[in-house]
């Protein structure tokens, strides 16, 4: 490498760019993300800067897909849109775009153009100094935050950190407050802590803060409605939903959140109508297909309360669930929630070999995901073995794995409940069933009832004197109780 090449490489490594943010290709669902970003560009929804962000994000995806010419075109469009949108205020928002253009030019062999973009970045930094070499412009923190937030859930903590840094510099900025609210919403457990008052919930607080600045953001209104539902604030939630629909009736994100709210409120038919309307404009949305499948699943489950039910109607709802879940997984192959639901429905429909294959695939993929997703897959796989293969030992194995993540979530509570049902039935048949007694000890311990857990483990050990697992659990519990 020549001295000039080394000098250019050194400049590039100092740039704030998606090429320097340690974004790992293996962490990304390239096809799913590509579809999502293209949809955002085509429909043009979101805040005024959202489309400009989407052009830049999609350009990096195209680079990863070995489409450098398309990537270059998208970055040029991003620059153009940014200038149209922000005018004289656009330069600091182009720092990352020029960094990406510099790296992309370098990778395509155009070193002269690469150096030109490096110089453009340097000129902006000289014109708009931050006062410290370790502090970035809020626009750069924001761009990093949106990138981390959109690319993969593995990057959500980094997104939150970057939004906070942007807010330290511009606390009243609508875009950074909105992004921070969305990031908090996505990282909160699926089952929020409802022992708190709603106003003590950080997500609710930030959603309200963002809506103070931009009261007409329909997406935020719908997200706040969903949070308030869990805190039994139904009247306010209903008002927020109606307002969100009034402001953003044609926005797929808004409709998706509102449809979810309506589904959990048992307004399933209204939810289906909204989602179908969105599909007419956005048929490539995996999340919309998933939401529709969950609506049809709820219709299917409702039949069990109307015994005797019509098998033909049951089959109709099941087939609609399968149809939309298959489409969701086709559009987003990493969509584990949809994949596990689909596998269980295949089993219901007697496609056992396909169900087993899909569950095995989901298990492998989930090993690299967060605990909530892994717990969900183990719960569904446990149900598969309990109700369809009749392999109770396998069901116990997967319910136990799901329980060990945490019992505090909805899925964790289901794992605990199913283990308890299996164990209590076995103890009723044989009160010397050491494995069943050990399971009850495990569940009590997970639920925080240590004294009851000790009792069950003592009974289990009395039936199986040399069981090291029970001995170890007892020792740990007794130490905890001291």
- Pair 115, 106: CB distance under 8 Å: no
Phi, psi dihedrals of residue 31, rounded to the nearest 5°: -70, -45
Asked whether residue 138 is assigned to any structural domain, the reply reads no
Residue 390 region by backbone torsions, left for phi larger than 0, else alpha for psi between -120 and 50, else beta: left
Tell me whether residue 7 is in a domain: yes
Distance CA 316, CA 296 (A): 9
Q: Which residue range forms the structural domain that includes residue 102?
A: 3-128
Instruction: Read off the tokens for 269.
Output: 């038919």
Could you tell me if residue 312 is inside a domain? no
CA dist 39 and 299 (Å) reads 29
Q: Which of 362, 441, 370, 363 is nearest to 406 (CA)?
A: 370
Query: With 0-12 CB in 10 A as exposed, 13-18 as middle and 19+ as buried, what is 311?
Result: exposed
Task: Please state the rounded mean pLDDT for residues 180-196.
Answer: 78
Q: Averaged over 275-281, what is the pLDDT?
A: 86
Residue 192 has pLDDT above 60, yes or no: no
pLDDT at 46 over 60: no
Q: Is residue 101 part of a domain?
A: yes
Question: Measuring CA to CA, which residue among 182, 192, 194, 193 is closest to residue 153?
Answer: 182
Say how many domains are in the chain: 1
Q: Is the pLDDT of residue 85 over 60?
A: yes
Category of 246 on φ-ψ map: left (φ > 0), alpha (ψ -120 to 50) or beta: alpha
What is the pLDDT confidence band of residue 38, given thresholds at 50, 70 and 90? confident
**Is 404 within a domain?**
no
CATH number for 108: 1.25.40.10
Report if residue 62 sits inside a domain. yes
pLDDT tens track for 118-129: 999 999 999 999
pTM of the model: 0.84
Asked if 98 and 117 count as a contact pair (C-beta separation under 8 A), the reply is yes
- Maximum mean pLDDT: which of 29-38, 78-87, 335-344: 335-344
Q: How many helices (H) and strands (E) does the chain have?
A: 24, 0
At 386-429, the pLDDT tens digits run 999 999 999 999 999 999 888 888 899 999 999 999 999 999 99
Q: Say if 460 falls within a structural domain.
A: no
Which SS3 state, helix, strand or coil, does residue 180 take?
helix
Cα 309 to the center of its chain, rounded Å? 35
Q: From CA 251, how far away is CA 365, in angstroms rounded?
A: 31
pLDDT tens digits, 295-324 = 999 999 888 777 666 788 889 999 999 999
Burial (Cβ within 10 Å: 0-12, 13-18, ≥19) of residue 472: exposed
For the CA atoms of 143, 145, 149, 150, the dihedral, rounded to the nearest 10 degrees, stands at: 10
Q: How far lies 389's CA from each of 286, 348, 353, 436, in Å? A: 29, 11, 11, 20
Within a domain: 100: yes
Any idea which residue has 């073995």 for tokens? 385
């Amino acid at each position: 490498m020549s001295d000039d090449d080394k000098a250019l490489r050194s400049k590039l490594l100092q740039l704030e760019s998606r090429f320097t943010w340690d974004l790992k290709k293996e962490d990304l669902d390239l096809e799913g993300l590509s579809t999502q970003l293209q949809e955002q560009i085509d429909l043009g929804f979101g805040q005024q800067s959202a489309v400009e962000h989407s052009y830049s994000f999609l350009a990096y995806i195209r680079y990863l897909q070995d489409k450098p010419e398309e990537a270059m075109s998208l970055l040029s469009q991003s620059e153009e849109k940014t200038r149209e949108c922000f005018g004289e205020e656009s330069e600091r928002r182009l720092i990352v775009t020029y960094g990406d253009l510099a790296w992309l030019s370098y990778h395509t062999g155009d070193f002269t153009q690469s150096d030109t973009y490096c110089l453009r970045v340097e000129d902006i930094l000289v014109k708009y100094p931050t006062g410290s070499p370790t502090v970035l412009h809020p626009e750069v923190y924001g761009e990093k935050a949106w990138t981390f937030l959109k690319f993969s859930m593995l990057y959500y903590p980094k997104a939150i950190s970057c939004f906070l840094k942007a807010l330290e510099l511009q606390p009243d900025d609508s875009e950074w407050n909105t992004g921070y609210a969305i990031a908090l919403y996505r990282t909160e457990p699926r089952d929020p802590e409802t022992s708190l008052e709603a106003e003590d919930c950080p997500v609710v607080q930030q959603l309200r803060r963002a809506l103070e600045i931009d009261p007409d953001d329909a997406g935020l209104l719908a997200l706040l409605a969903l949070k308030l539902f869990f805190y039994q604030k139904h009247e306010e939630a209903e008002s927020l939903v109606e307002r969100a629909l009034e402001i953003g009736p044609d926005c797929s994100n808004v409709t998706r959140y509102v449809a979810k709210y309506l589904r959990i409120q048992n307004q399933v038919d209204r939810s289906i109508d909204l989602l179908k309307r969105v599909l007419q404009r956005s048929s490539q949305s995996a999340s919309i297909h998933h939401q529709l499948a969950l609506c049809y699943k709820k219709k299917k489950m409702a039949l069990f309360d109307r015994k005797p039910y019509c098998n033909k109607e049951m089959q109709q709802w099941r087939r609609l669930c399968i149809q939309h879940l298959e489409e969701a997984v086709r559009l987003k192959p990493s969509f584990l929630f949809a994949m596990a639901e689909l596998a269980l429905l295949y089993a219901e429909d007697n496609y056992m070999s396909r169900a087993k294959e899909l569950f095995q695939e989901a298990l492998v993929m989930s090993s690299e995901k967060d605990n909530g997703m892994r717990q969900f897959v183990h719960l569904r796989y446990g149900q598969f073995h309990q109700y369809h293969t009749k392999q109770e030992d396998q069901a116990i194995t997967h319910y136990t794995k799901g329980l060990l993540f945490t019992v505090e979530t909805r899925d964790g509570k289901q794992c605990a409940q199913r283990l308890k049902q299996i164990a209590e039935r076995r103890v009723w048949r044989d009160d010397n069933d050491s494995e069943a007694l050990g399971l009850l000890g495990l569940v009590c311990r997970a639920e925080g009832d240590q004294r009851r857990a000790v009792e069950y483990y003592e009974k289990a050990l009395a039936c199986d004197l040399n069981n090291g697992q029970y001995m170890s659990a007892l020792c740990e519990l007794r130490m905890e109780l001291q």
